[in-house]
Amino acid sequence: VSSAEARAESEPPGRPAVEAGSRFLAEIGEQPAALLRLLEQRAAFERVAEEILARRATTIRMVGHGSSDNAASYGVYAFGLLPGWTALRDSISLTVYYGAELDMTGSTVLALSQSGRTPDVVDYLERARRSGAFTVAITNDTESALAAAADAVLSLEAGPEQAVAATKTYTNQVAALGLLAAHTAGLGARFTEELRVVAEIMAGLVPAVLERITNVAVSFSFAGRMFVIGRGAEFATAREVALKLLETCRVAAEPLTATDLAHGPVAALDALFPVWAIASDDETLPAVLEATARAREAGATIIASGSAADAVVGAAYTLPVPVPPTPLLSPLLSVVPGQLFAWALARTKGLDPDEPRGLSKVTLAR
Amino acid sequence: VSSAEARAESEPPGRPAVEAGSRFLAEIGEQPAALLRLLEQRAAFERVAEEILARRATTIRMVGHGSSDNAASYGVYAFGLLPGWTALRDSISLTVYYGAELDMTGSTVLALSQSGRTPDVVDYLERARRSGAFTVAITNDTESALAAAADAVLSLEAGPEQAVAATKTYTNQVAALGLLAAHTAGLGARFTEELRVVAEIMAGLVPAVLERITNVAVSFSFAGRMFVIGRGAEFATAREVALKLLETCRVAAEPLTATDLAHGPVAALDALFPVWAIASDDETLPAVLEATARAREAGATIIASGSAADAVVGAAYTLPVPVPPTPLLSPLLSVVPGQLFAWALARTKGLDPDEPRGLSKVTLAR
């Protein structure tokens, strides 16, 4: 289903043309409300958490593509830090294409798909269920094939997403993984309250960043490539910001952990190679500061975002975000400047971030 | 320790200046011999496999940075397809920076480091051992800190590697992971013979590709960015080829699975954005062919390598490799055209692939 077709289902024909990027921008702004809608699902999260505990299915296998896979990077930390479980972004191809038969008893599958129609994610879930896993669909469409195939369904509640590049679906996926992890650790009530505070902070953050972002983006109108660095829980943010730039701005943006940068890619840097650094006030900050110092030595222009953006020495641009009530929630705020930068840069380059060339809202590719 | 210092330890002062890239090229050519040296270690691999089985430590946690982490991508498939176990590239930051306390009984840690001195890999291994994991160091230096900290050591036997960008260490890491996986599945003897055949095929492949590669590289002298796609076991190859291009050619090369490409990055493609595709004759080939067709539609120039390179319709350049005795060994051959392309492109651009600016052989960065 192409993006145009997907919209045709939900909108009347002959609707007036809208300004390029207006849907993408509107959906960035809807994220706080989407987060609050997710919180209304907390009873379902509690039930799924209880089922995971009852089955002792404590190896968490996450699958998804694109933004969904980026959210899964966050899940590694949410489950690692809250219940202390091993969570992995599982290989879809190992199971679906190669037909490997892994024993998945003791595993919970969290299958992430906005539409619930991504074919190999559905296929993976069905195979994993037969291999003994407890399977959970996390999707906006609770009537989808993915939802039908799973043992349990968690509704993302992001609401209709019309821009091809995901924003509110991504942040609700991150929040959903955090919320589920918190419930498995008996911390669901506290996490819910913390998420509510983050939604409120985010509602103030969007207009504040929006006011400044076009001036920042203009400086990068001619940038064809970029590194986006983050570490730990913020690696998910680095991946997601890079994907938004690839999708909407035709920038070859590559996500790297702060440490990866030193292990090779730093050699590619020069003044024409900007580095977007996510610096959050947590245990990984020293690694991020070390990496940005190396990037600066190589002549790169640094854009620092995150709650510790001001700690990045020599950044050309600084886009700080507020400190959340718990460090594990910082990725929900850190991603906002990146989303808005992608919106502003696309417009600066004369591109329409609502409908990137060559992309559809629902990707059926293998 | 800088690259210059590392060499100073092993070479007499006053040695004559060598041609740019000659060490990198020599080490690419040494790979078949290095593989054969690894096979002499097969008794050690057998012992470690027996120990893993005896301890039932069948969750395989691999850690490493750069090329070592790329090799770990291969390990996911080697362990998934041979003994049918879950192997994951574990998060170093979760354990080392955040101090998460995961129960690692039932886990084997495979810590990959050329030098055995990568600080956070050593730190991870020590913590994992305290958390109940069986720990194995896979390194060229069996006297290193990593080797000293581990329950068992597997010597990579790549021999001194003087070019900063790894080649023979990477291929021996891939082979070592395959060999260990095969031994745990009771297939060690057969895999050893298959590896011997691959070493022989590789010895013929290097000069054959070398003859053609400069003509291919010249066409990309002005390319600043590239996607490198592969799927399944060849995703490791895609990651490694991209890293060589980043390290030695200042190209913003991003590795993507064939499916990732469709989920966003395809929107960034145009005629100035070449795509290197690894097409191997295995179950993932349809996904790779679908992705290259999409890239071609977007106007990208395709360079196809791998055993099924000739199946890629519309490729501008085709660099096929022979079919190995078993599909799981194809990554050892598929990486060779990419290594040689990086060597040739660096020289075309006037860069020295032996000593990329800003890199050291041993990376001590966090």
pLDDT, tens digit, 9 for 90 and up, residues A86-103: 999 999 999 999 999 999
Nearest CA in chain A to B107: A86
pLDDT at B3: 39
Give yes or no for residue A360 having a pLDDT over 80.
Answer: no
Residues of A in contact with B92 (CB under 8 A): 259
What proportions of chain B, in percent to the nearest 5, are helix, strand and coil? 50, 15, 35
CA-CA distance, A28 to A32, in Å (whole number)? 9
- The whole-number pLDDT of residue B256 equals 94
Tokens of A280: 């959050």
For B84, the closest of A101, A224, A260 (CB atoms) is A101
The amino acid present at B134, given as its one-letter code, is F
Determine whether the interchain pair A98/B77 forms a contact, defined as Cβ–Cβ distance below 8 Å: yes
pLDDT tens for each residue of B75-107:
999 999 999 999 999 999 999 999 999 999 999
Nearest chain A residue to B131, by CA:
A84
Report the distance separating Cα B31 and Cα B69, nearest Å.
19
pLDDT of residue A14: 44
Chain A residues within 8 A of B132 when measuring between CB atoms: none
Measure B47 CA to nearest chain A CA, in Å.
24
Instruction: Determine the distance in angstroms separating the CA of A300 from the nearest CA of chain B, rounded to an integer.
Output: 12
| Residue B59 backbone dihedrals phi, psi, to 5 degrees | -95, 120
C-alpha radius of gyration, chain A, whole number? 20
Closest chain B residue to A244, measured at CA: B264
Backbone φ, ψ for residue A255 (5° rounding): -80, 140
What pLDDT does B359 receive?
Answer: 80
- Average pLDDT over every residue of A120-135: 97
Which ipTM did the prediction report?
0.93
Task: Inform me whether the pLDDT recorded for A231 exceeds 80.
Answer: yes
Q: In this predicted model, what pLDDT tens digit does every residue of A200-228 receive, in sequence order? A: 999 999 999 999 999 999 999 999 999 99
Are B246 and B296 in contact by the 8 Å Cβ rule? The answer is: no
Top residue of A76, A82, A98 to mutate, by most chain B CBs within 10 Å, is A98
Closest CA to B85 of B94, B95, B77, B93: B77
Asked if the Cβ–Cβ distance from B265 to A284 is below 8 Å, we say: no
Query: With b meaning 16 or more CB within 10 Å and e meaning fewer, what string describes B106-143?
Result: ebbbbbbbbbbbbbbbbbbbbbbbebebbbbbbbbbee
For residue B8 the two structure tokens come to 């100073």
pLDDT value of position B245 = 96
> Would you state the structure tokens that stand for residue B130, as one six-digit string?
């305290």
Separation in Å, CA of A330 to nearest CA in chain B: 15
> In degrees rounded to 5, what are phi and psi of residue A5?
-65, -40
Q: Looking at CA atoms only, how far is residue A127 from chain B in angstroms?
A: 14
Strand partners of residue A316:
none
Burial status of residue B237 (CB atoms within 10 A of its CB: 0-12, 13-18, 19 or more)? buried
β partners of residue B154: B138
Minimum distance, in Å, between the CA of residue B28 and any CA atom of chain A = 18
Residue A230: closest C-alpha in chain B = B93
Strands (E), chain B: 59-63, 87-89, 107-113, 134-139, 152-155, 225-230, 252-257, 275-278, 302-306, 317-320
Best of B62, B69, B79, B86 to disrupt the A interface by mutation (most A CBs within 10 Å)? B86
At residue B241's C-alpha, the angle toward residues B238 and B245, to 5°, is: 135
Do B259 and A65 lie within an 8 Å CB cutoff?
Answer: yes
Number of cross-chain residue pairs from A and B with Cβ atoms under 8 Å apart:
209
N- to C-terminal Cα separation, chain B: 14
Count other Cβ atoms within 10 Å, centred on residue B200.
13
Question: Which of B76, B165, B286 is facing A91, going by the closest CB pair?
Answer: B76
Spans of chain B below 50 pLDDT? 1-16
Nearest CA in chain B to A296: B358
pTM of the model: 0.94
Question: Residue A64 and residue A245: Cα distance in Å, rounded?
Answer: 19
Closest by CA position to A179, among listed A83, A106, A61, A284 = A83
Of B117, B106, B172, the closest CA to residue B149 belongs to: B117
Residue with tokens 């995901």: A166
The larger pLDDT score, comparing residue B357 to residue A33, is at A33
Cα separation, A354 vs B233, whole angstroms = 35
Beta bridge pairs of residue B316: none
Which of B41, B62, B212 is CA-nearest to residue B137?
A: B62
Query: Stretch A332-341: mean pLDDT, rounded?
Result: 98
Count H helices, E strands: chain B?
A: 14, 10
| 3-state DSSP assignment of residue A225 | strand
One-letter amino acid of A59: T
Helix (H, G, I), strand (E, B) or coil at A251: coil
Give φ, ψ of B343 to 5 degrees: -60, -50
Q: Do B264 and A359 touch (CB under 8 A)?
A: yes
With an 8 Å Cβ cutoff, are A358 and B294 in contact?
Answer: yes
Mean predicted confidence (pLDDT) in A140-157: 98
Q: CA of B145, closest CA in chain A: separation in Å? A: 19
Q: What are the structure tokens assigned to A165, written together? A: 């590049």
Q: Name every residue whose Cβ is closer than 8 Å to that of residue A343 and which is 6 or more positions away in sequence.
A: A21, A24, A25, A28, A213, A248, A353
CA-CA distances (angstroms) from residue A142 to A65, A130, A134, A147? 18, 21, 17, 5
DSSP character at residue B269: -
User: Which single residue is written with the structure tokens 């990959």?
Assistant: B112
Q: No. of H helices and E strands in chain A?
A: 14, 10
A255, pLDDT greater than 70: yes
DSSP-assigned beta bridge partners for residue B61: B88, B109
What pLDDT is attached to residue B20? 85
Task: Report the relative pairing of strands B317-320 and B87-89 from DSSP bridges.
Answer: unpaired
Buried b (16+ CB within 10 A) or exposed e, B325-364: bbbbbbbbbbbbbbbbbbbbbbbbbebbbbbbebbbbbbe
State yes or no: pLDDT of A7 exceeds 80: no
How crowded is residue B291: how many other Cβ atoms within 10 Å of its Cβ?
A: 29
B74–chain A nearest CA distance, Å: 11
Cβ distance of A81 and B100 shorter than 8 Å: yes
Whose structure tokens read 């799973």? A150
Q: Which of B88, B93, B98 to mutate to test the interface with A (most CBs of A within 10 A)?
A: B93
Beta carbons within 8 Å of B295's beta carbon, 6+ residues apart: B227, B229, B261, B266, B269, B275, B277, B302
Residues in chain B: 366
Q: Which of B85, B102, B264 sits opposite A86 (nearest CB)?
A: B102
**Are A79 and B63 spatial neighbours (Cβ–Cβ below 8 Å)?**
no
pLDDT bucket at A21, cuts 50 / 70 / 90: confident
Please tell me the predicted confidence (pLDDT) of residue B259. 87
- To probe the interface with A, which of B88, B292, B361 has the most A CB atoms within 10 Å? B88
Q: How far is Cα B201 from Cα A2, in angstroms, rounded to an integer?
A: 45
